[in-house]
Amino acid sequence: FRLAREASCHVASQIAALIRKRSDENKACVLGLATGSTPVSVYKELVRLHRDEGLSFKNVVTFNLDEYFPMQSNELQSYVRFMNEHLFDHIDIDPANVHIPDGTLAEADVPAFCQRYEEQIVEAGGIDIQILGIGRTGHIGFNEPGSGPNSRTRMITLDRLTRNDAASDFFGEEYVPRRAITMGVGTISDATQIYLLAFGEGKAPVVAQSVEGPITPNIPATYLQEHPDARFILDEAAAEQLT
């Protein structure tokens, strides 16, 4: 796409079409959602479709990719807060259908929570559409370099570069949490359809490596090459280094 805005509207319209189709069939539509700056305009367009075109989210179930650990849900950088502000507060989704990894847990409770998160995805029928961004390390979710293709929801240690990229959100790299809870590469790969969005020239090198480079745990996004229905949705700047 020439512009990020056009790309975002395209993805939002694909999501809206599936929500409506599932609603006509009286079925749930299960969405895997990402945070960060990239998907903001997708959520903006979904909110517009709800407000102006009657798109209902009553049959929608969501699972977010990740959350910093530890993280209280009312903190500025919380992904719970992010999702409420950008999407959930503006649509008619049932709060019981929203799932986000819990950054408030005691550390000892994290493994059981992660296992339960996996089960909840399965019980919901599996993820129909997964939205992803990509980090400069090649992470999807917070699956940093070294994450295996079969990894599941778990606690991870954030890469230095990722913490550096988050520094401005936290008013200094030293305040960025060192860990996060994330869906695994295996969890993500189980989604029927995947849209990875990347905008801007800063993402161009990692996009080219992810799409055209060899599949490697050093760049977890390369695993998407093996997925039967994964698309990279790019603006011109992010696509610049593709051959």
Q: Does 32 bind ligand F6R (CB under 6 A)?
A: no
Q: Which residues are catalytic?
A: 144
Please select the residue that binds ligand F6R; options are 65, 83, 100, 156, rule is CB under 6 A: 65
- Determine how β-strand 193-198 pairs with β-strand 230-234: parallel
Q: Does 164 bind ligand F6R (CB under 6 A)?
A: no
Nearest CA to 134 out of 213, 195, 71 is that of: 195
In angstroms, what is the minimal distance from the CB of 34 to ligand F6R? 4
Helix, strand, or coil here: 156? strand
Residue 201 and residue 138: Cα distance in Å, rounded?
Answer: 15
DSSP characters for 190-210?
TSSEEEEEE-SGGGHHHHHHH
Please select the residue that binds ligand F6R; options are 141, 184, 222, 238, rule is CB under 6 A: 141
Please select the residue that binds ligand F6R; options are 7, 29, 34, 185, rule is CB under 6 A: 34
Task: Mark the segment that binds ligand F6R (CB under 6 A) among 134-142, 149-157, 219-227, 234-242.
Answer: 134-142
Are the C-beta atoms of residues 63 and 50 closer than 8 Å to each other?
A: no
Task: Mark the segment that binds ligand F6R (CB under 6 A) among 19-27, 31-39, 210-218, 225-233.
Answer: 31-39
* H helix intervals, 25-76: 40-53
Binding site for ligand F6R (CB under 6 A): 34-38, 65-66, 133-135, 139-142
